[in-house]
Chain A
Amino acid sequence: MANNILEMHSITKTFPGVKALSDVNFKVEEGEIHCLIGENGAGKSTLMKVLSGVYPYGEYEGDIVYQGKVQQFNKISDSVEVGIAIIYQELALFPDLSVYENIYIGNEVKKGSVINWNQTIVKAKAMLNKVNLKVNPEVLIKDLGVGKQQLVEIAKALSKDVKLLILDEPTAALNEDDSENLLELIKQLKKQGISCIMISHKLKEVVAIADKATVLRDGQTICTLDANKGEINERTIIKHMVGREINDIYPKRPEKKIGDTVLELVNWSAYDSQLGRDVVKEASLTLRKGEIIGLAGLMGSGRTELALSIFGNPKNYKLRGDLALNGQPRKFKHTSEAIKAGIAYVTEDRKGNGLFLLQNITNNVSAAKLSGISNNGIINDNEEIKVAEYYKESLHIKASSIEQHVGKLSGGNQQKVSLGKWLFVGPNILILDEPTRGIDVGAKFEIYSVMNKLIEQGLSIIMISSELGEVLGMSDRVYVMAEGRIKGELAAAEADQEKIMELATQ
Chain B
Amino acid sequence: MKIINEAIDLVKENIRDYGMYIALFIIMFTFNLMTNGMFMSSRNISNLLDSAGYIAVLAVGMTLVIVIRHIDLSVGYVAGFLGAIAAMLLMQQGLPVYIVIPIILVLGLVVGLFNGFLIAQLGIPAFVASLAGMLIFRGALLQVTEGTGTIIVQNASFNALGNGFIPSLAQISERHLLTLIVGLIGIIFYFYGEFKTRHDKKKYNFEVVSNSIFVLKLVFVSAIIGYITWILAGYNGFSWTVVIVLLVTMVYHFISNRTVLGRQIYAVGSNPEAAHLSGINVKKITYLVMASMSMLATLSGILYTARLQSATTTAGMLFELDAIAAAYVGGVSSAGGVGKVTGAIIGAIVMASLTNGMNLLGVGISYQYMIRGGVLAGAVIFDVITRKKGK
Contact = CB atoms under 8 A, between A and B. Distances in A.
B261 interface: yes
B337 A358 contact: yes
Given A356-B267, A356-B337, A379 B259 contact: yes
B261 A353 contact: no
Contact of A358 (B259, B260, B280, B338): B338
B270 A382 contact: no
A314 B276 contact: yes
A295 to B, nearest CB: 18
A335 B277 contact: yes
B367 interface: no
B261 A377 contact: yes
Interface string A306-324: 0000011010000000000
Interface in A400-434: 403-405, 408, 421
Contacts of A357: 270-271
Interface stretch (A25-33, A114-122, A185-193, A368-376): A368-376
B201 interface: yes
A106 to B, nearest CB: 29
B260 A377 contact: yes
Bin the interface of chain A by size: 35 or more
A354 B277 contact: yes
B260 A345 contact: no
B63 to A, nearest CB: 16
A366 B260 CA distance: 10
Given A367-B263, A371-B260, A378-B258, A355 B271 contact: yes
Nearest to B267: A367
Interface string B168-192: 0000000000000000000000000
A377 B335 CA distance: 27
A347 B277 CA distance: 9
Contacts of B201: 382
B206 A385 contact: yes
B98 interface: no
Contact of B260 (A374, A381, A408): A374
B278 A335 contact: yes
A339 B337 contact: no
B2 interface: no
A370 B260 contact: yes
A382 B206 contact: yes
Contacts of B391: 360, 403-405, 408
A334 interface: yes
B236 to A, nearest CB: 36
Contacts of B261: 377
Chain A to chain B: the 10 pairs with minimum beta-carbon distance, closest first: A336-B279, A353-B273, A368-B278, A356-B270, A339-B279, A370-B260, A382-B204, A367-B278, A335-B279, A377-B260
6 contacts: A314-B276, A314-B277, A339-B278, A357-B270, A366-B263, A374-B260
Interface of B: 200-201, 203-204, 206, 258-264, 266-267, 270-271, 273-281, 335, 337-338, 390-391
Given A357-B271, A358-B335, A363-B267, 16 more contacts: A314-B277, A334-B279, A334-B281, A338-B279, A353-B271, A353-B273, A353-B277, A355-B271, A355-B274, A356-B270, A358-B337, A360-B391, A367-B274, A382-B201, A382-B204, A403-B391
